Amino acid sequence: MKIKELSNTVLEMIRRGDKDNLITLISDNVGTDEQLIKVLSDIQIQLKEIGGGYPPVGKQIETIDEIIEFTEIAVKIALDNENKLAAGILYHNQASFCFPNMDDGVDTRLIKPGYFAAVKDYEIRQEIGKKGPMLWAKWLVGISEFIRGDTVKALEILEETAKLANEEPIEKDIDTWARMMIAKFYLRSIPEKRDLAFEMLQEVNEEFTALMDSYGLQTVASIINTYF
């Protein structure tokens, strides 16, 4: 069954509460560990596309409730198959889909499932032990803490992320993304650090230019245009 057809069937099953047959359907469409990761994450992403894809600020993915329900089932399948990597990817996606514009325009009812997924992703990435994915997961936890209302903890986590990422040049982009969010959270929560935040954003812009990170450049430009 092709992924679009499979995803539409999954969506229908979730909406009518047919979890038992849903688990059977998914299990019948995966084999190896690589297939498991691809099929489960592809369904999750396709459900997001069915729900309109990433929305503008203030809007949410229309199928987010079904995505959360699917993720719970998919993670269980992944862990039953001893595939922690698949579970981590699924949790990371759920958090990203609950917070589609990071800390902007968050739906308060999605804070709990988004935060939960971000923390679970980080816990799994720590167990797996690969530094890059672990730091991206930590970065997402930092953003989630800010969304949850704990600015101090958010900044501590992002500062730790930047420090760890900066230890190895290969992780430099994570360092840049972490410092960009630190600067943004200064602007949102600590007015006396406005000048420092602007300096940080200028540095971040230069680094994204060197990294040829177009999405990073777009994001930092949006922050500067919003706050200055």
Q: What is the pLDDT of residues 98-112, one digit of tens each?
A: 999 999 999 999 999
Percent of the chain whose predicted confidence (pLDDT) is above 70: 97
pLDDT tops 80 at residue 143: yes
Contact 61, 55 (CB under 8 A): yes
Q: What is the pLDDT of residues 72-96, one digit of tens each?
A: 999 999 999 999 999 999 999 999 9
Query: Which among 17, 66, 13 has a CA at the least distance from the CA of 44?
Result: 66
pLDDT tops 90 at residue 27: no
Q: What share of the chain is helix, strand, coil (3-state, %, to 5)?
A: 80, 0, 20
- Residues 118, 111: Cα–Cα separation, whole Å: 10
- Residues 81, 96: Cα–Cα separation, whole Å: 24
Give me the chain's average pLDDT, please: 95
- Residues 125, 200: Cα–Cα separation, whole Å: 28
Q: Which DSSP state fits 159?
A: H
pLDDT tops 80 at residue 140: yes
- Residues 136, 6: Cα–Cα separation, whole Å: 29
pLDDT tops 70 at residue 32: no
